[in-house]
Copies of this chain bind each other. A is one copy, B any other.
């Protein structure tokens, strides 16, 4: 049975939507003023799985979580700080992770190995844990079924808005809920802005089933943004199931389909709020010879600074698109077969047909590209494989923000 999108209905309360999840977010002192410490607490425990950065340089918290998830399936808390990535801090970085889990566990009266940790922020700067210790009581006292937004705020770095999502759906005759918070990649495509996401569900599934579902969902969502292992030291997606609603393993595909929708929407939220982004861009390739060709061509277009600046300028500069396709290294490419369209809610404009310029209405093209969501559609006409990659435009603000990050 295929879950259709219709059956998934959106809720508005983030992590609060899921039974068995409490959360909170406060300011301690990792950042100057803003909330910087989030806690997800599962009073009755949760089965957790995760996926992590493919960067060979991994933050200490990432290495810790990966290790814990190999050893254990059940957890009670996820602690996240923003303002310091705790990466490249050597032995002290490792010790600080243990300090954080130990001190939180003590306050919650649970075992340290029941705590997972994430960090995001500047790397290579040893953590100062004093403000963290001072803030722990307030963090725990404020735990509630209503504080998802505070948690979403506390994991932000250069995000401009807190990002939460929740949905419900019927699987195997039972109502299943999903809730999530996410923080954005600095810039989605080129590389290395940290993405952190925490997804909770009340469904009961074993860790290996959750892992299968999460990996599959990520391949159709986070991984079509975060390209080719271009990930930060800290990227983390954790999926926690509070096991309140028993679900037969036969429904794993349905669960995965819903989780995928959830992850796709979370990815889009991140792309829309990327550093300096003014537009969400979908690059779609069709009729490629192979799936791999379709993906490579779409990624080459989506990562091209020249394409991204043209989209920012609302300029239907398809020459840059076709050049990026030519540079993508795909095996089967017929320059005289390529057709390119720019699309949006304002319409579509055909700019290149079978490798040749098509006279087009520049005013219409500008209107199409002036929308917030724009598409670049590329028909390679060499087969029947397709791919879709998401990115954002590259703006003046992107440079401003990133020329000024540490200050």
A257: CB under 8 A from chain B?
Answer: no
In Å, the complex CA distance between A315 and B406 comes to 7
Residues of A324-372 contacting chain B, CB below 8 A: 324-327, 329-330, 333, 335-336, 351-352, 355-357
Chain A interface residue count, CB cutoff 8 Å, equals 67
Residues of A147-182 contacting chain B, CB below 8 A: none
Residues of A189-225 contacting chain B, CB below 8 A: 190-193
Is B309 in contact with A399, judged by CB distance below 8 angstroms? yes
Q: 1/0 per position for A364-407, CB-CB distance to B under 8 A? A: 00000000000000000000000000000011101110111111
Nearest neighbor of A123 in chain B, beta-carbon distance:
B319
A283 to chain B, nearest CB (A): 15
Residues of B within 8 A of A126 (CB): 357
A261: CB under 8 A from chain B?
Answer: no
A142: CB under 8 A from chain B?
Answer: no
Residues of B within 8 A of A356 (CB): 88-90, 124
Nearest neighbor of A234 in chain B, beta-carbon distance:
B323
A231: CB under 8 A from chain B?
Answer: yes
Residues of B within 8 A of A23 (CB): none
Residues of A107-133 contacting chain B, CB below 8 A: 122-126
Q: 1/0 per position for A87-99, CB-CB distance to B under 8 A? A: 1111000000000
Residues of B within 8 A of A399 (CB): 309, 312, 394-396, 398-399
Is B187 in contact with A323, judged by CB distance below 8 angstroms? no
Is B400 in contact with A396, judged by CB distance below 8 angstroms? yes
Give 7 A-B contacts (CB < 8 Å), ordered by A residue: A55-B327, A58-B335, A88-B335, A90-B336, A124-B318, A191-B323, A228-B329
